Every structure is written in C-alpha cells, then in structure tokens.
Amino acid sequence: MAEILVPFNDLGRGTRELRTQIDSVIARVVSSGWFVLGPEHDALEYELSEYLGVKHTINVGNGTDALELALAAVGVKGGSQVVTVANAGAYTTTAALLLGAEPVYCDVDATTLLMSVETLETTLASLAEKPQAIVVTHLYGALAPINELVAVAHKHNIAIIEDCAQSLGATVDGRRGGSFADISTTSFYPTKNLGALGDGGAVFTNNDELANKVRRMRQYGWASKYSIEFDHGKNSRLDEIQAAVLRLKLPLLDKQNDRRKDIHSIYEKENDADIHFVNSASESFNGHLAVVISKNREKTRSALLDAGVKTDVHYPIPDHKQKFPSFKPRKSNLEVTEWAAESVFSLPLFPELTPNEIDQVVEALANC
C-alpha cells in the first residue's frame, strides 16, 4: 500500500481553518445564556429561507426528523403509503415506518440513479390506491428532474417532498433544489455540504399551513406553551450553538460547492472505460459525492487502496433488502437499484483536499 493515504473525508481540516471564528460564535452563544430556540436559531431560519428562495424554514434536530415531520405534515399516518427510492440509505424508509406508513419503492434511472418520471409513473400505476406522499431524494448532490416530478405528483393530487440532505445549493433553472416541492427537508450532519458540529436538520416550504404544523410538531405539538393542539408532537429542536456555527458556514457554501465541483471535474478527465462518473452530465450537481460505477468494484477499490486512495460505498444495501424485523416490502421491479448497489463506489471529495492528494487520486485512477 502507498505510504501516503488520501482520506475519504477529513472534517478536522475545514474546522481547523475556521477555528477562530467558530470559537468566537460559540463564545457569543455561551455569553448570551440562551441555548435553545433563540436569536441564532431564528436568524438561521431567515437566512436559509433567503438562500433557498422559500417562504419558511423550520429548523429541527436532524434530517430524519425533518423527513418524519414533513411526511406527518402532509397527512402521512398509520396505513398510508409513501413512494420513494430504495438506494438512499433508508432515511425516508425510517421516517415513514416511524409514522406507521408503508414505504413503496420506485426504481431509479440507470444514468442518474435518481427517480425519473418514467420510474415514478410505473410505480404509481402499480398501486391500487393513491399514496399519501412521494419523497424525491436528490442523491449524491444532483437534482432529480424535479419540475417534471412535481407535475406528475400534482396531476395525481399527491403531496411531494424533496430530500435535499445531499443536494443543498444545487440549482436548476435558476432555482435551488428544495424550493419546488410542497415541502422539503435537509440534514446538517457534519459530512453534508453545509455541516454542523453535530446533528441538525431543517424543513422548507412556501405553504403557511404546512410550516405551522411542522413548527408546532417539532416542540411537543404545542399551540402555545404547555398547550398541545397538534398530533404527532415530538422534541426536535436545533440548539443555538449549532445554529450559530451554521450561520457562519452558510455564506461559504456556494464557494465550497464550486471547489468540490472543480475537483470532480479534474477526476473526470481521467475517466476510462471501466469507470463511469454518475454525475458527469448533471448541471445541477453541487459536488457532494464523487460516485462512480465500476464493472469490477472490489478489484478497482482495492487497486485504489493500494495506491493510497480510500473509497466508500453509497449505499451497499438497498432499503428493500434491509433486515427490518417487522416490515416486509411489497415486491416490485428494482433492477437498476439492485445493479447500482453492487456497482457504485465513491472517491474522496471534500473542499480541503490538497493539490497533491487530488493528483494522487488522478494517478491512481489512471492506473487502476
């Protein structure tokens, strides 16, 4: 194995670059004595709404809670069906199951590995009843054909949700992902393009009623202090320290996404017949992950590791193959999803990769 290892990710680097400013915003919160649902939190909601071009942002505790609350807001409950893809780490599946709903899986397009109009229409046509919601996962940082998917959902009178946990900042037709659907979600998990120093998430919508429901549900279902008037209340709040750190990082997001995309383009130049970059053709791509399809994944990954390049797999087990003890997914054709789970892997892609490390990846790709 090569002596120098290119890490798959290194969250310490970005944090060290911002250390003085991070220390200063944390000190500001500590001195204020206000730790939950305070001024940093409210300012972040305002700034995220401006950034995405939406009317409402509701901060919550993490991206899975954001999905659960968005699903509950559009009426998903015990017995409902939720249509989504099965290649995205089971986050929507987890949220739907928490509500007692049944996830119904839709295959993905063989080029983008995202939901397409065709795969969605096929799934909808296979169902005897109308599902309560569709969740579109903008996986790996590229947007699914969201204008068209919203049109299909609305034609069938079904609520549609965008999961932007991997796609924050991605844009199509001059609009940010997260501003198209009825309601959208994100995660601020530290490895996301906009990452906190711990867990965090948010819900976005232009709909006043949905925003009000999520705002109430994230704090016990309170209509006002100690007075519960909303179903499905829970405690899912983003604390002041995380909000202050995210406010510091939000203005840097577009520049960091550009850096990620530049690195991705450098890798792509070394594209050979055995490796195909999933996001080559995507204009909306925000550089979240450098996912490639390889005909012989384990051989290629092991050659890269020998050349000092660490890789990962997003994701090795599709949702319908997970061993949920009490959920047995209905049978459907998920041929592309299953092929992708066996063929994809991800190269290191984060803004603080050094020129030498990028060269090392390029060279390893050329030789593998």
Interface residue list for ligand PLP (CB under 6 A): 62-64, 88-89, 91, 137, 163, 165-166, 187, 189, 199, 201
CA distances from residue 4 to 308, 345, 357, 365 in whole angstroms, order as listed = 6, 21, 9, 16
Q: In the complex, what is the shortest distance from the CB of residue 72 to ligand PLP, in angstroms, rounded to a whole number?
A: 15
CB 343 within 8 Å of CB 278: no
- Which tokens belong to 71? 């699903």
Scanning the structure block, which residue is given the tokens 């397409």?
Answer: 116
What is the SS3 assignment for 25-83? Answer: HHHHHHHHCCCECCHHHHHHHHHHHHHHCCCEEEEECCHHHHHHHHHHHCCCCCCCEEE
CB 347 within 8 Å of CB 309: yes
**Whose Cβ is closer to ligand PLP: residue 87's or residue 311's?**
87
Q: In the complex, what is the shortest distance from the CB of residue 71 to ligand PLP, in angstroms, rounded to a whole number?
A: 12
- Which tokens belong to 50? 């401006």
Q: In the complex, what is the shortest distance from the CB of residue 89 to ligand PLP, in angstroms, rounded to a whole number?
A: 6
Q: In the complex, what is the shortest distance from the CB of residue 59 to ligand PLP, in angstroms, rounded to a whole number?
A: 12
Q: In the complex, what is the shortest distance from the CB of residue 90 to ligand PLP, in angstroms, rounded to a whole number?
A: 9
Q: In the complex, what is the shortest distance from the CB of residue 303 to ligand PLP, in angstroms, rounded to a whole number?
A: 27
Q: In the complex, what is the shortest distance from the CB of residue 66 to ligand PLP, in angstroms, rounded to a whole number?
A: 7
Q: Which positions ≥6 away from 96 have C-beta within 8 Å?
A: 71, 76, 82, 84, 102, 103
Nearest to 344 by CA among 318, 306, 322, 309: 318
* Shortest-Cβ-distance residue relative to ligand PLP: 63
**Whose Cβ is closer to ligand PLP: residue 282's or residue 300's?**
282
**Whose Cβ is closer to ligand PLP: residue 188's or residue 277's?**
188
| Biggest CA-to-CA distance, the chain | 65
**Whose Cβ is closer to ligand PLP: residue 167's or residue 294's?**
167
Nearest to 142 by CA among 193, 92, 101, 97: 193
Q: In the complex, what is the shortest distance from the CB of residue 177 to ligand PLP, in angstroms, rounded to a whole number?
A: 12
The alpha carbons of the chain give a radius of gyration, in whole angstroms, of: 21
CB 195 within 8 Å of CB 352: no
CB 234 within 8 Å of CB 220: yes
Exposure of 308 in the CB half-sphere (CA atoms within 13 A): 13
Q: Is the dihedral of CA 360, 363, 365, 368 positive or negative?
A: negative
Q: In the complex, what is the shortest distance from the CB of residue 187 to ligand PLP, in angstroms, rounded to a whole number?
A: 3
**Whose Cβ is closer to ligand PLP: residue 24's or residue 322's?**
322
**Whose Cβ is closer to ligand PLP: residue 89's or residue 364's?**
89
**Whose Cβ is closer to ligand PLP: residue 88's or residue 153's?**
88
Nearest to 347 by CA among 334, 363, 332, 333: 363
**Whose Cβ is closer to ligand PLP: residue 89's or residue 287's?**
89
